[in-house]
Structure 1
C-alpha cells in the first residue's frame, strides 16, 4: 500500500503539465515497486535457478 507522501512525491516528479494517464502510470509503477520490495522482504521470490528454467515459458 502506498502512503500519501509517496504519492505526493511521485506527482511532484512529473512535469508541470501532464496527462492523467502519465500520473496513473507513475502511480502504478510506484505500487508495483513497493509490492516487489514487500515480496522480497517476505522471501516470496523465485530462486535464480528456477527463474532461468521458467522464464522461456513465460516469454512465449
Structure 2
C-alpha cells in the first residue's frame, strides 16, 4: 500500500469517524490489492476447483 491509497481512503470518510473504521477500510483495500496481484501472477484456482475443495472438506 502506498501513501496515496491511504489518503484516498481517508478522504472518503466523514470528518468524524471511529479509528476502527479507517483501519477496516485500509485492511480491505490492502486485501483487494493483494487479490488483484494474485490474479495477475496466476496464483488463483478456477471457481469449480474451489467449490470442489470446499465441498469435499466441509461435507464430511
Instruction: Flag whether TM exceeds 0.5 (same fold).
Output: yes
Pairs aligned (count): 57
Q: Does residue 55 of structure 1 match 2:54? A: yes
CA offset at residue 34 of structure 1?
Answer: 0.4
Gaps of 5+ in 2: none
The TM-score, its normalising length taken from structure 2, stands at 0.85
Query: C-alpha root-mean-square deviation of aligned residues, in Å?
Result: 1.3
Q: Which has the higher contact order (CA 8 A, sep 6+)?
A: 1
Larger CA Rg, structure 1 vs 2: 2
Q: Deviations over 1:1-40 (max 9, x none)?
A: x011011000100111001100100000000000000000
Q: Which residue in the other structure is 1:25 paired with?
A: 24
CA offset at residue 55 of structure 1?
Answer: 2.7
The TM-score, its normalising length taken from structure 1, stands at 0.85
Distance between the aligned counterparts of 1:50 and 1:44, measured in 2?
13
Gaps of 5+ in 1: none
